[in-house]
C-alpha cells in the first residue's frame, strides 16, 4: 500500500467464527481517510467483533485487514499508538477522578510534563468536563462518562478513532452534541469508524456499511443507499392502520409493512409495476379507507429492504 492510498482501512474477506457461530462473514471494507464511517446493525450483527479485529484485539479466522497501512493483527503493536479506541462498555477506572484517568492515559502514551498538562486542560475544556475534573468517573452521568471516554481516546491525537456504540446510553440532546464533536475531529483530519444502531446517527455518516447477522448487506453514502434500494416506498395513512396492515402484509408482492404511528410504510420491489395502484387495490379490496402515496426512501427503509432481501434469499435457498 502506498502513501498515496487514501484509505484508512481496507479489509478483504474478513471473517470471525466463535466455534459454530460465524460472527462476521467475508467482510470487505474500504474506509476513506478523514471521514466518519458508520457501522449500522442491530445487536449481535458483528459490529464489535469487526472493530476488535480492526484494532488487533481479535484474530480473524480468515481474510486480511490493513489499518493505516499496517497489517492486523501482525503489526498491531505498531498500530496501537496511532489509534484511539472507545469500547462499547465504559472501560475507564471508576474509582479514579476524570483528571486522574486522563493523567493515567497521558502517562501510558508517555507524554512529557508540559504536554500532559496542556493537553489535559485542552480536552477537559473541549469536552466540557472542567467542572467534573475532580469527580470520580464512576459517579459521572452517562453523557459525562461518554465525553470522558472520548477525551481519553483522542488524548494522544490518534489518526484513526474506533468508536463502538458510543451513544447507546445517552439522551438525544447529548447524542447530538457528541456528533458535533465527531464532526470537529473529522474536520481536523481524524478518520472515525463508529458503530450504531440508531438510524439518525447513521444518516450523519459520510459513508455507511449495514451489517446483518455478520454479513455486510449494503454500503455507500446514505444518499446513495436511499437512492438505490430497488424498492418503491408507499406511505399509507388512514383511520385504521391495523386493518390496513392486515390487508397488505399477506400480499405476495409486498416485502414489508412497517408501522410508524398512524402511518404505514410499504416496501414493494421496483420490478413490480404500478406499486401505488397495487396498494390502493389491496386496500379497497379489503374495504379499508386510507390514503396512499409514493415517498422517498428513508434510511430505515434501506435497512428493512436490505435485511429483508437477505432473508428472502435465504428462504428461497
Partner 1 sequence: MKALIRLLAIIRKELRQLRRDRLTFGMIVGIPIIQILLFGYAINTDVRNLVAAVADQSDTHLSRQFIAELGQTQVLDLGRAAAGPEELERWLRDGSISVGVLIPPDFDRRVLDPGRPAAHLLVDGADPTILGVANQLAFMPLAFDTGKASRPARTLEVRPYYNPERRTAINIVPGLIGIILTLTMSLFTAVAIVRERERGNLELLINTPVSTLELMLGKIAPYVVIGLIQLALILIVGRLLFDVPTRGSIVELYMAAAVFIIANLALGLLLSTVARTQFQAMQMTIFFLLPSILLSGFMFPFAGMPPFAQWLGELLPNTHFIRLTRGIMLREARLAELLPEVYALLAFTLVAMAGAVRRFSRRLD
**Which residues make up the interface to partner 1 (CB under 8 A)?**
52, 55-59, 73, 76-77, 80-81, 83, 85, 87, 89-96, 100, 103-105, 107-110, 152
Check if the beta carbon of residue 97 is closer than 8 Å to that of residue 174.
no
Q: Is 250 in the site for ligand ADP (CB under 6 A)?
A: no
Render the burial of 178-196: b for 16+ CB within 10 Å, e for the rest. Answer: bbebbeebbeeebbbbbbb
Tell me how far CA of residue 78 lies from CA of 81, 82, 85, 147, 154, in angstroms: 7, 8, 15, 27, 17
- Smallest separation (angstroms) from Mg ion to the CB of 109: 26
| Residue span binding ligand ADP (CB under 6 A) among the ranges 18-26, 118-126, 281-289, 306-314 | 18-26
44 interface partner picked from Mg ion, partner 1, ligand ADP, none, CB below 5 to 8 A per type: ligand ADP
| Contact (Cβ atoms closer than 8 angstroms) between residue 15 and residue 53 | no
Q: If binding is defined by CB under 6 A, does position 181 make contact with ligand ADP?
A: no
In angstroms, the CA 86 to CA 90 distance is 8
191 binds ligand ADP (CB under 6 A): no
Per-residue binder mask for Mg ion (CB under 5 A), 7-36, x = binder = ------------------------------
Q: Are 129 and 146 in contact (CB under 8 A)?
A: no
Tell which one of 27, 29, 36, 47 touches ligand ADP (CB under 6 A). 47
d(CA 34, CA 134): 33
Half-sphere exposure for 288 (CA within 13 Å, toward CB): 22
Instruction: Kindly tell me which of 88 and 228 has the beta carbon lying closer to ligand ADP.
Output: 88
Q: Minimum distance between the CB of residue 147 and partner 1, rounded to whole angstroms?
A: 16
Rounded to the nearest whole angstrom, what is the least distance from the CB of residue 146 to partner 1 in the complex?
14
Could you give the C-alpha distances from 48 to 65, 69, 145, 189, 299, in angstroms and in order? 15, 21, 19, 24, 21
> What residues line the site for ligand ADP (CB under 6 A)?
18, 21, 23, 41, 43-49
> What residues line the site for Mg ion (CB under 5 A)?
48, 88
Amino acid at each position: 500500500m502506498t502513501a498515496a492510498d487514501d484509505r484508512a482501512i481496507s479489509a478483504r474477506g474478513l471473517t470471525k467464527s466463535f466455534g459454530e457461530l460465524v460472527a462476521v462473514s467475508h467482510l470487505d471494507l474500504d474506509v476513506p481517510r478523514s471521514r466518519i464511517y458508520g457501522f449500522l446493525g442491530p445487536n449481535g450483527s458483528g459490529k464489535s467483533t469487526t472493530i476488535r479485529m480492526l484494532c488487533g484485539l481479535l484474530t480473524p479466522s480468515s481474510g486480511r485487514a490493513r489499518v493505516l497501512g499496517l497489517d492486523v493483527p501482525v503489526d498491531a503493536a505498531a498500530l496501537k499508538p496511532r489509534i484511539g479506541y472507545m469500547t462499547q462498555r465504559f472501560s475507564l477506572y471508576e474509582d479514579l477522578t476524570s483528571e486522574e484517568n486522563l493523567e493515567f492515559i497521558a502517562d501510558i502514551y508517555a507524554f512529557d510534563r508540559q504536554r500532559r498538562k496542556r493537553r489535559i486542560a485542552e480536552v477537559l475544556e473541549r469536552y466540557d468536563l472542567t467542572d467534573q475534573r475532580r469527580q470520580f468517573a464512576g459517579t459521572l452521568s452517562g453523557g459525562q462518562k461518554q465525553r470522558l471516554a472520548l477525551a481519553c481516546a483522542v488524548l494522544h491525537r490518534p489518526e484513526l478513532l474506533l468508536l463502538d456504540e458510543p451513544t447507546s446510553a445517552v439522551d438525544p440532546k447529548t447524542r447530538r452534541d457528541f456528533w458535533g464533536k465527531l464532526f470537529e475531529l473529522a474536520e481536523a483530519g481524524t478518520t472515525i469508524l463508529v458503530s450504531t444502531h440508531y438510524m439518525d446517527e447513521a444518516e450523519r455518516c459520510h459513508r455507511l456499511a449495514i451489517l446483518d447477522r455478520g454479513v455486510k448487506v449494503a454500503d455507500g453514502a446514505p444518499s446513495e443507499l436511499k437512492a438505490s434500494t430497488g424498492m418503491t416506498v408507499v406511505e399509507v395513512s388512514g383511520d385504521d392502520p391495523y386493518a390496513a396492515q392486515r390487508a397488505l402484509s399477506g400480499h405476495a408482492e409486498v416485502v414489508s409493512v412497517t408501522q410508524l404511528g398512524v402511518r404505514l410504510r410499504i416496501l414493494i420491489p421496483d420490478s413490480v409495476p404500478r406499486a401505488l395502484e397495487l396498494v390502493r387495490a389491496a386496500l379497497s379490496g379489503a374495504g379499508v379507507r386510507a390514503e396512499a402515496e409514493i415517498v422517498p426512501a428513508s434510511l430505515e427503509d434501506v435497512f428493512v429492504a436490505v435485511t429483508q432481501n437477505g432473508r428472502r434469499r435465504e428462504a428461497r435457498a
